[in-house]
């Protein structure tokens, strides 16, 4: 893969309540490590990763956002340019699941209609689950999102999230004849 001149460059945004594991998912994806101690995200951090999808080279620019209200005005600017949005909730925290529709509304307000969206139930390694897989899938279907269960801690299906979003964006790009 030619990393200096990828076939595609996509912007992704990862959002969800504070503490659901957004930074940990990114660290797992980028460095394949996991940090136990919680460091609250301040503002927006940004990560680059090159990957190959069905023989095509893709560069992902992933923006990690803070859940805090005071950063919202900065973050809305990132939605506008996003090709994909990853909505994360914590499987052990009911509230973080209930808030997904609020996050969705916010994204729909600022992003383009063709943005690819995926719902991620993180911390699948922990018990008890406050949200069942069936319930999360049902909600994802209702909201027209793909659902992926993951764990930043055990690395379960973390790569799948990003591969899946990248693949869907490529599909949309082909459909649009770009």
Where do contacts with ligand GDP occur on this chain (CB under 6 A)?
18-24, 36, 38, 41, 122-123, 125-126, 151-153
Report the nearest approach of ligand GDP to the CB of residue 43 (Å): 12
CA distance 11 to 55: 20
Nearer to ligand GDP by Cβ, of 40 and 138: the residue is 40
Nearer to ligand GDP by Cβ, of 29 and 58: the residue is 29
Report the nearest approach of ligand GDP to the CB of residue 121 (Å): 10
Query: Closest-CB residue for ligand GDP?
Result: 21
Nearer to ligand GDP by Cβ, of 36 and 69: the residue is 36
Instruction: Look at residue 26 and give its three-state secondary structure.
Output: helix
Three-state secondary structure readout of 72-129: HHHHHHHHHCCCEEEEEEECCCHHHHHCHHHHHHHHHHHCCCCCEEEEEEECCCCCCC
């Amino acid at each position: 893969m030619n990393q200096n001149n990828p076939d595609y460059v996509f912007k992704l945004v990862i959002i969800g309540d504070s503490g659901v594991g957004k930074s940990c998912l990114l660290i797992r994806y980028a460095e394949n490590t996991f940090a136990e101690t919680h460091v609250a995200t301040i503002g927006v951090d940004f990560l680059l990763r090159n990957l190959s999808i069905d023989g095509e080279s893709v560069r992902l620019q992933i923006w990690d956002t803070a859940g805090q209200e005071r950063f919202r005005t900065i973050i809305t600017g990132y939605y506008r340019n996003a090709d994909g949005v990853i909505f994360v909730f914590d499987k052990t925290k009911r509230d973080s699941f209930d808030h997904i529709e609020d996050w969705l509304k916010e994204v729909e307000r600022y992003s383009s209609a063709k943005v690819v969206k995926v719902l991620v139930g993180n911390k699948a390694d922990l018990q008890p689950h406050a949200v069942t897989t069936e319930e999360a899938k049902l909600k994802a279907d209702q909201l027209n999102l793909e659902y992926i269960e993951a764990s930043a801690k055990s690395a379960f299906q973390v790569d799948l999230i990003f591969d899946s979003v990248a693949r869907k964006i490529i599909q949309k790009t082909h459909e649009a004849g770009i």
